[in-house]
Amino acid sequence: MNWDWFKTFSKENPKFWENYLSSFEIPQNDETKYIVFDCETTGLNIETDRILSIGAVAIENSQIIVSDFFEIFLKQDVFNAESVEFHGILKEGKEEKFVEAEAIIQFLKFVKNATLVGHQINFDIEMINEALSRLNLGALKNQYMDIGLMHQKFIDDTSIESISLDELCKIYKVKKNGRHTASGDAYITALLFLKLKKKLNI
């Protein structure tokens, strides 16, 4: 499918974006739905690097809904061989890969108006927002939470600038299955989130 038409939007938004925005008009249930997500990327530069994969899992009623799971791999128009050491995603790997526009459409369809959760989530959100900007669309509207900040609140120490996912796993005794994959890191983050949510009584 040719996605060049995304570049020519002027007055009307595409249907998928309208559907995403309209989800925020629906009254929330008493129990907040959380989507824990993670992006694997070619690097850490918001403007020049690109998303390689997105993994996400839903949490409802303080339980991970394993059946409510999302994973997508993107075609690598930008390729950084050095980053393969960390995420293991090859440019011509066996995974089915989608163009960035389709991946973003699928991601928005999955998350809707849920509260987003992640580790160092600002980076992941900015990467999604940059992809949205390339489609001439606005930024994510979702509320979001960061497990690193939750940890700071729990130990009552905001002097810690950042803490790695590995360190958090060690502190809260969470097994690191699937580490350095978007889906694996999303699941690990979900486990950490539930532990911190309980400790903070939120």
Annotate 112-167 with DSSP letters as a single string.
TTPEEEESSHHHHHHHHHHHHHHTT-------EEEHHHHHHHHHT-TT-----HHH
Q: How many CA atoms lie within 13 Å of 135's alpha carbon, on the beta-carbon side?
A: 22
Task: Judge whether residue 178 has pLDDT over 90.
Answer: no
Tokens found for residue 187: 């699941």
Tokens found for residue 118: 């992640």
Task: Judge whether residue 122 has pLDDT over 90.
Answer: yes
Q: Report whether 194 contacts 64 (CB < 8 A).
A: yes
Task: Judge whether residue 5 has pLDDT over 50.
Answer: no
Q: Report whether 78 contacts 50 (CB < 8 A).
A: yes
pLDDT the model gives residue 10: 45
Q: Over the stretch 160-169, which tens digit does the pLDDT of each residue have?
A: 778 999 999 9
The residue that leads in pLDDT, 11 or 135, is: 135
pLDDT the model gives residue 3: 52
pLDDT the model gives residue 55: 95
CATH topology of domain 32-200: Nucleotidyltransferase; domain 5 (3.30.420)
